[in-house]
Structure 1
Amino acid sequence: MSSVLRPATPLDASKLGEILYRFEHETPWMPKEHSLAETIAFCDRMIAQGWITVAQDPASGQILGFCAKDGPEICALYLLPEHTGLGVGKQLLDQAKETSPELQLWTFEANHAAQRFYRREGFVETQRTNGHRNSEGLPDIEYRWQVKEMEHAT
């Protein structure tokens, strides 16, 4: 599926908040820490920082997912569950790669699908923690990606 990528606007905050809220509340191993209102406010703050790119269905206009990137750090990459495995996440990640020669992100150890996705996209595990660095207290893994010299030269 090919989606249209665009910068998020303040009007997108509620849709992005719903995507993030659904992940938290539909993922069995994820602590349920935030209300929908808190999640929307969090997305609104990331939008105000200029961090978020949304993936939108060109036909329906539906927001399918988003990527929040602060410099080289991918802070969030979430999709509607019914749109995973269709290339939307790869499209968002490819755009992030185009804007930075190296990227860094964290994912939860329990999120095996995310780990497979990031490894398939060229990310390498650099460290693991016991969860002391995140508010959820869940063990997590840092991944890094770097442009290969040959890719950079072309």
Structure 2
Amino acid sequence: MSAALRPARPGDAEPTGDILYRFAQDTPWMPKLYQRDETVGFCGVMIARGWVTVVVLGGQVAGFIARDGQEICSLYLANAAQGQGLGTALLADAMGQSDRLELWTFQRNTGAQRFYARHGFVEAARTDGAGNEERLPDIRYEWRRS
């Protein structure tokens, strides 16, 4: 089954919101700050701003990336879609549109750290989490085209 990338549409707020909500619910160290409907609404706002690209697999949204200019705000995959190269496809698409990207990830998210390092991102800063709403220590990563 092949995957396809496309700009998100308003109707994608629900599946992207579900993916993001499931991550928060299924990750033991992640604070549970928002209800499902709030998360869907947040994804709807990012979609309305034109930030979101989705990856579709088998006719279903399997993941998404949200990018505001050079900043990657979100990159999430449904649990069943992980390990199939879909995150790499979303990231490669963003890298193909920019000479520089940056993002934040939580220090406890070691899988994300390995993923971004594998794709050429380098650590630029660490914080104690006082500046993010989750209050979790985080890391800023940067990527620049060679």
**Which TM-score bucket, shorter chain as reference?**
over 0.9
- Is 1:131–1:137's contact at 8 Å kept on the other side of the alignment? yes
Q: Distance in 2 between matches of 1:2 and 1:76?
A: 23
What do you get for the CA RMSD once the two structures are aligned?
0.8
Runs (4+) of structure 1 exceeding 3 A deviation are none
Deviations 1:88-126 (A, max 9, x none): 000000000011100000000000000000000000000
Q: 1:26 maps to which residue?
A: 26
| Correspondence for 2:83 among 82, 85, 103 | 85
**TM-score under structure 2 length normalisation:** 0.98
**Bigger-Rg structure (1/2):** 1
Q: In structure 2, list runs of 5 or more residues that go unmatched.
A: none
* Rounded Cα–Cα distance in structure 1 between residues aligned with 2:111 and 2:2: 21
**Cα distance in structure 1, aligned partners of 2:44 and 2:19:** 13
The number of aligned residues is 146
- Is residue 16 from structure 1 mapped to residue 27 from structure 2 by the alignment? no
Quote how far apart the aligned CAs of 1:3 are: 1.3
> Is residue 53–residue 66 contact of structure 1 (8 Å, CA) maintained in 2?
yes
TM-score of the aligned structures, taking structure 1 as reference length: 0.93
Does residue 146 in structure 1 map to residue 144 in structure 2? yes
Aligned equivalents of 1:116, 1:5: Cα separation in 2:
23
1:84 is displaced (CA, Å) by 1.3
Match of 1:42 in 2: 42
User: Counterpart of 1:36 in structure 2: which amino acid?
Assistant: R
Q: Percent identity?
A: 54
* Structure 1 Cα separation of the partners of residues 63 and 131 of structure 2: 25
Corresponding position of 1:4: 4
Which residue of structure 1 aligns with residue 105 of structure 2?
107
Distance 2:3 2:65 in 1: 13
TM-aligned CA deviation for residue 2 of structure 1: 4.2
Q: Compared with structure 1, are the counterparts of its residues 2 and 141 closer, same or farther at alpha carbon in structure 2 (3 Å cutoff)?
A: farther
Counterpart residue type for residue 7 of structure 2: P
The separation in 2 between residues aligned to 1:25 and 1:110, in whole angstroms, is 15
Q: How many Å apart are 1:9 and its aligned residue?
A: 0.5
**Which ranges in structure 1 are unaligned for 5 or more consecutive residues?**
149-154
Question: Which residue identity does 1:95 align to in structure 2?
Answer: D
SS in 1 for 2:46: helix
- Give the conservation status (yes or no) of the 8 Å contact 1:2–1:88: no
